Amino acid sequence: MKAVSLTGPGQVAITEITEPVSKQGEVLLRVEMVGLCGTDLNSFRGKNPLITYPRVIGHEIAATVLEGSVSIPAGTRVTVSPYTHCGHCAACSHGRVNACQFNQTFGVQRDGAMTELLSVSADKLYPSSLSFKELCLVEPLTVGVHAAARARVDSKDIVAVYGCGGVGLGAIAGAAFRGATTIAIDLDDEKLETARAAGAVHLIHSSRDNVHERLQEISGGFGPDVVIEAIGLPDTFRAAVEEVGFTGRIVYIGYAKELVSYETRLFVQKELDIMGSRNALPQDFREVMAILEAGRFPVDRAVSTIVPLTEAPAMLAKWSENPASFTKIMVSL
């Protein structure tokens, strides 16, 4: 069967791989659609330290059950949690299996879903009547929704989100779904308008607006209760600490590509809760599906491009050359 494989940095091809044989407790799926994300782009560029080559990519999955069970019969539409957990590391023992020390994610540490058939453990499946396009958005949105959960966002909060890419949009949608007053910060007008459709009440264009003044104005001079960083730049890492209000909560999703210097006095003076956020938990998948079922996310606006499997290699190269030209890319199988 056909698969999209990275054979090395900057090298991608459609290859033939062996069809999977389902093990005990697994369900055979026909893959319908797979989303591309920043992890796939970094893997293509050779900048993902976790990947080894060759590797079939893809972990944002919409599929149909081919060989099911009583609980998940054949023909059921599903999305998939692409992570594993060992069950015995510190994270797993604390019930935070999303942060398993020995996690293996589809398309990174193990072959992914950009292929025709996939065999997956039944407990990683989330059945739904959502469209394949919607199901393909569930996993990327869970990453931002998990950050909102980490921040303990509720309806009393003012939440500022730096970055309106796919992950930032998930954080915005998650915060808005919990009733918070949500602020989107980005330097792209189209992304900001998509953020508005996802639930942002206030938009701040970071290259035209004075971000500090706008945040102070919106928050009555106190700063946001929560800042979620979904970009991964030293400037926005620092800005989160500088702009959040006293006793505020900061959640970092983005990876800064270089060392970050802080005025650590603010950590103590403001008595901040500073947290990382990684992957997602089952409740995050269920929350995203509820958001989509309620029509609370602009699916068509958020997806910029859908291509067939045969065009996926060329699409990856085009995306790498001009990443700002695309939002969410999906591959239809």
Q: What is the pLDDT of residue 70?
A: 75
Residue 238 sits in the same domain as residue 122: no
Residue 111 sits in the same domain as residue 159: no
Residue 63 sits in the same domain as residue 177: no
Look at the chain and report how many structural domains it folds into.
2
pTM for the complete prediction? Answer: 0.95
Residue 92 sits in the same domain as residue 161: no
Give CA–CA dist 99/108, Å, rounded: 15
Residue 188 sits in the same domain as residue 307: no
267 inside domain: yes
How many of the other CB atoms lie within 10 Å of CB of 83?
Answer: 22
Average the pLDDT over 11-20 and give the result. 95
Residue with the two structure tokens 């791989």: 17
Task: Assess whether pLDDT exceeds 90 at residue 95.
Answer: yes
Task: Assess whether pLDDT exceeds 80 at residue 43.
Answer: yes
Tens of pLDDT, residue by residue over 214-269, are: 999 999 999 999 999 999 999 999 999 999 999 999 999 988 878 999 989 999 99
Task: Assess whether pLDDT exceeds 90 at residue 193.
Answer: yes
138 inside domain: no
Tens of pLDDT, residue by residue over 131-175, are: 999 999 999 999 999 999 999 999 999 999 999 999 999 999 999
Nearest-CA neighbor of 42 among 330, 320, 327, 324? 320
Residue 103 sits in the same domain as residue 46: yes
324 inside domain: yes
Per residue, the 3-state secondary structure of the chain, as one string, reads CEEEEEEECCEEEEEECCCCCCCCCEEEEEEEEEEECHHHHHHHHCCCCCCCCCEECCCEEEEEEEECCCCCCCCCEEEECCCCCCCCCHHHHCCCHHHCCCCCCECCCECCCCECEEEEEHHHEEECCCCHHHHHHHHHHHHHHHHHHHCCCCCCCEEEEECCCHHHHHHHHHHHHCCCEEEEEECCHHHHHHHHHHCCCEEEECCCCCHHHHHHHHCCCCCCCEEEECCCCHHHHHHHHHHCCCCCEEEECCCCCCCCCCCCHHHHHCCCEEEECCCCCHHHHHHHHHHHHCCCCCHHHHEEEEEEHHHHHHHHHHHHHCHHHCCEEEEEC
Q: What is the pLDDT of residue 67?
A: 86
Residue 122 sits in the same domain as residue 162: no
Dihedral in degrees, nearest 10, Cα atoms 39, 42, 47, 50: 20
- 270: containing domain: 143-276
Supply the CATH number for residue 212's domain.
Answer: 3.40.50.720
Task: Assess whether pLDDT exceeds 90 at residue 323.
Answer: no
52 inside domain: yes
Supply the CATH number for residue 29's domain.
Answer: 3.90.180.10
292 inside domain: no
288 inside domain: no
Q: What is the pLDDT of residue 325?
A: 79
Asked if 112 and 54 touch (Cβ cutoff 8 Å), the reply is no
Residue 214 sits in the same domain as residue 119: no
Asked if 14 and 312 touch (Cβ cutoff 8 Å), the reply is yes
Residue 167 sits in the same domain as residue 269: yes
14 inside domain: yes
**Token code pair at residue 95:** 């019930």
Residue 187 sits in the same domain as residue 214: yes
